[in-house]
Amino acid sequence: MGIRLTGGRVFKDNALLPMDFEMHSGEDISFSLNNAVVLPGFVDVHVHLREPGFFHKETILQGTLAAARGGYRAVCSMPNLDPAPDCLAGLEKQLEIIRRDAKVKVVPYGTITKGRTGGGVLADMEELAPYVCGFSDDGTGVQSEALMEEAMLEAKRLGKMIVAHCEDMSLIPKGGAIHDGSFAREHGIPGIPSASEYEPIRRDLELVRKTGCSYHVCHVSCKESVELIRRAKKEGLDVTCETGPHYLLLCQDDLEDDGRFKMNPPLRDKEDRQALLAGLLDGTIDMIATDHAPHAANEKDKGLRGSVMGIVGLETAFPLLYTHLVKKGIMPLEMLVEKMALAPARRFNMEADFQSNFTVWDLEHLEKIDADKFLSKGRSMPFGGWPVYGKCLMTVVDGKVVYREGANE
Ligand SMILES: [Zn+2]
């Protein structure tokens, strides 16, 4: 009983070794895979599944199918939903859909504030705490320092993390759409300055020092943020952070006036991209999260000015990063596994038994990224047509095959 793979290599003791053990599954599957590797299932701590409230953009069913195909065994779902998970009643609908439809493990966030407005009063954090992976107002920054301090004290009391979308709205001009840099100036598009990200991070790190709260920074995009977090870690503060594949592989030089290039925070300068890579390599950036943010086609076809923010990423993250970081010699595969699977699982208390939670990839397979083949409802992302190595053959969650190549197409 179980999955017998002959040939191939398996991730063991933080290295890839010849396959020498049987993976556990309720199904009997046996195949030989000379090019395949068996890796721990990935964990994405920043995913928008859009249900309840916005199923025209994505559903928990399709979003988690996309996750399974991307090699993910677990995702954390962001709270910009309707109703917002700012109390147990607001969370209940999402939990119900997760129980019914989710193909991989989904652990929701609770909001920091009532209505996820980034202001006003705190959410019912205590009643949410047993059901959530942490508290976030993702999509909106908490604007008031006093309110963030209150949130951190409450999160600390409850033994939960604050997971911060850092964005100071007072520093962003109306209609801010892309990085406040050369492309924005040349095309007369209102720019989003890096300070709107790193100033709230600076503020929050002070509050972490004061409160002792566990703190995680979402989608770090600029060099100043990396440096602030590097220093905070040296000091011993309980801080981690993530960045996304797009910030590691693209910058404002790659922009086209197309909604596929619009996300928040925006693609920044070449120097920022390099600083993110350096931060990833030296451990300042703990993990990679996709910020998978699907939208309907007619919300993304209005250029950089008129489109909404957000791109999809679950089905492309590993092949893109394997191709552009591992195959190019920037980092070993073991480090990419750390950033996509092990580190997020440790930080978010989502560790799982490897032999029942793994993903199998053919790393020799070369294919151009084609959004029309996505299992996600979202199609908009800037990597269409990019040739990438790596095809997911199978993903297993708690011993159950949740994705098998060819079975969902
Ligand atoms: Zn965000």
What does the pLDDT read at residue 109?
98
Q: The tokens 């300055």 sit on which residue?
A: 193
Report whether pLDDT(67) > 80: yes
Active site residue 180: no
- Express each pLDDT in 229-238 by its tens digit: 999 999 999 9
pLDDT: is 5 or 125 the higher one? 125
CA 36 to ligand 1 center in whole angstroms: 34
Neighbours of ion ligand 1 (CB under 5 A): 138, 165, 218
What does the pLDDT read at residue 4?
72
CA 157 to ligand 1 center in whole angstroms: 24
**Cα–Cα distance for residue pair 98/64, rounded to 1 Å:** 10
CA 165 to ligand 1 center in whole angstroms: 5
pTM, 2 dp: 0.96
Report whether pLDDT(323) > 80: yes
pLDDT level of residue 36 (50, 70, 90 thresholds)? confident
Give the DSSP per-residue string, 143-158.
--HHHHHHHHHHHHHH
Helix axes 270-282, 223-235, angle to 10 degrees: 20
What does the pLDDT read at residue 159?
98
Report whether pLDDT(409) > 70: no
- Express each pLDDT in 138-167 by its tens digit: 999 999 999 999 999 999 999 999 999 999
CA 342 to ligand 1 center in whole angstroms: 22
CA 140 to ligand 1 center in whole angstroms: 7
What does the pLDDT read at residue 289?
98
**Cα–Cα distance for residue pair 295/57, rounded to 1 Å:** 4
What does the pLDDT read at residue 226?
98
What does the pLDDT read at residue 6?
73
**Cα–Cα distance for residue pair 239/220, rounded to 1 Å:** 13
CA 156 to ligand 1 center in whole angstroms: 22
- Express each pLDDT in 89-139 by its tens digit: 999 999 999 999 999 999 999 999 999 999 999 999 999 999 999 999 999
Selected catalytic residue, list 124, 180, 286, 291: 291
Residue 383 backbone zone (phi > 0: left; psi -120 to 50: alpha; other: beta) = alpha
- Express each pLDDT in 165-183 by its tens digit: 999 999 999 999 999 999 9
Q: Is 38 helix (H, G, I), strand (E, B) or coil?
A: strand
What does the pLDDT read at residue 20?
64
The percent of the chain in helix, strand and coil, each rounded to the nearest 5, is 35, 20, 40
C-alpha distance across the termini of the chain, in Å? 27
Contact of 347 with 239, CB cutoff 8 Å: no
